[in-house]
Amino acid sequence: MISRLLTTFLVAACIACSSAAYADLLVEKKTFSSKNFSTVSGETIAEVNVGWEAYGKLNENRDNVILITHFFSGNSHAAGKYTPDDPQPGYWDAIIGPGKAIDTNKYYVISSDTLVNAFPNLPHVVTTGPASINPETGKPYGLDFPVVTIRDFVNVQHALLQSLGIKKLHAVVGASMGSLQAIEWAAAYPDMVERMVSVIGAGAMDAWTITALEHWARPIRLDPNWNGGDYYSGPAPLVGVTNSLVMITQQAMHPVAFNAMSPAQEVLPKSALESVLNGLPATDFWFGGAAQRAPLADANHILYLVRANQLFVAGHDKDLATGLAQVKAKTLFLPAKNDLLLQPYLAKQAVDVLEEQGKQPKYAEIDGTFGHLDGVYNIQSKAEELAEFINN
């Protein structure tokens, strides 16, 4: 959910982000390619390309690997900088690096892009989705791209790890949509995953969340420029994307932080009294910021990401309990106390099921005023618990 706009505002508040702390963590984006990828929906994608980056060193046994999976609006840039003068580091730089909670002096930390990344036009994002060229037609897939699921994201990462000769994950750690991938990893490949950390996550979607996600898709489908998903040779549906991005940003926040970041409104602003179409300070601020980011996103990719999330039940099996019955990993759940998007009850549901199965999931809530985004901005408040879980 993190946005560039937000990051720009908030990087100053990031305790562990002093330039000294990450001066030595310079990272490089790499691309993993795979041919004839089979999807859960029974289709084949001729070529899949996803970006990935890594921090730390792979040991000789190749068993010191921690996989980081990213959230809806994010990408694989979880830590470090691409160049020393990058304005900001990766989103979880506070907990990934030398001597940090996820210690790159000990672990080889791999962070992977997903299929259908929401922002394929960002320079460092490598992804495959509806905006990619369909080799059969030489044109973007559009809605001919197969529906993909969180399990597909995991399967691409599995193929990436195989290509590196990695057969064990010391841990898989993800926030939000990344937490869905993390728990899916533990359910789909139980013999590979030793530890699973779900930050601001869920074991399965419920009707509330499925419908909330639907609201992120509908403005795009209403935008005339969307044109049934076929807009790659014309203007992109940027108004629909903008509306969607503001909704995503707001739902990922909490009123305290949201209000603190918004401009104040005088009483009865003159232009607002002149027409219902005229903006207000807060709406100009949030919709204006999102409009700037909209060209970096792809409308169809957002629709596909929404669908992947809507279909999520850990294990993609009969039900949540059946899926979680497969899990052998030690598990840690870190929901955010003030999360209004994936509220703590969702993490608790998974914890309850695991406990009923005789497992011993750990659970702690992240404090803060950012809501869902506390899983990104306040993750360092759980650095100790995280380090203890990872190292034991």
| Phi, psi dihedral angles at 362 (to 5 degrees) | -100, 150
Taken as a whole, the chain contains a residue count of 392
101: Cα separation from own chain's centroid: 20
CA distance 127 to 312: 20
Work out the burial of residue 317: count CB atoms within 10 Å of its CB; fewer than 13 is exposed, 13-18 middle, 19 or more buried: middle
- Asked if 191 interacts with a second copy (CB under 8 A), we say no
Q: Which is nearer to a second copy, 289 or 375 (CB)?
A: 289
295: Cα separation from own chain's centroid: 19
Span near a second copy by CB under 8 A; candidates 17-25, 55-63, 166-174, 242-250:
242-250
- Asked if 370 interacts with a second copy (CB under 8 A), we say no
- Going by C-alpha positions, the residue among 70, 78, 18 that lies closest to residue 305 is 70
Q: Report residue 341 as tokens.
A: 């998007």
**Count residues contacting a second copy (CB under 8 A)?**
64
CB 114 within 8 A of CB 6: no
Task: Please give the residues from 275 up to 314 whose contact with a second copy meets the rule CB under 8 A.
Answer: 275-277, 280-283, 285-287, 303-304, 306-307, 310-311, 313
298, 301, 372, 374: the catalytic one is 372
Q: Which of 34, 134, 227, 262 binds a second copy (CB under 8 A)?
A: 262
- Asked if 221 interacts with a second copy (CB under 8 A), we say yes
3, 176, 179, 244: the catalytic one is 176
Q: How far is the CB of 328 from a second copy (least distance, A)?
A: 21
Q: How far is the CB of 371 from a second copy (least distance, A)?
A: 10
Active-site residue 372, yes or no? yes
CA distance 244 to 256: 21
- Judged by DSSP in three states, 341 sits in coil
- Asked if 149 interacts with a second copy (CB under 8 A), we say yes
Q: Which residue has the tokens 């850990």?
A: 314
Q: Which is nearer to a second copy, 20 or 277 (CB)?
A: 277
Span near a second copy by CB under 8 A; candidates 46-54, 76-84, 194-202, 271-279:
271-279
Q: Report residue 101 as tokens.
A: 């909670």
Q: Which amino acid is at 32?
A: F
Q: Which residues contact 367 (CB under 8 A, 6 or more apart)?
A: 336, 337, 338, 374, 378, 381
Q: Which of 99, 263, 288, 295 binds a second copy (CB under 8 A)?
A: 263
CB 63 within 8 A of CB 74: no
Span near a second copy by CB under 8 A; candidates 16-24, 120-128, 141-149, 174-182:
141-149
Catalytically active residues are 176, 339, 372
Q: Which residues of this chain interact with a second copy, rule CB under 8 A?
A: 40-42, 143, 147, 149, 206-212, 214-215, 217-219, 221-224, 239-240, 243, 246-247, 250, 255, 258-259, 262-263, 265, 267-269, 272-277, 280-283, 285-287, 303-304, 306-307, 310-311, 313, 316-319, 340, 343, 345
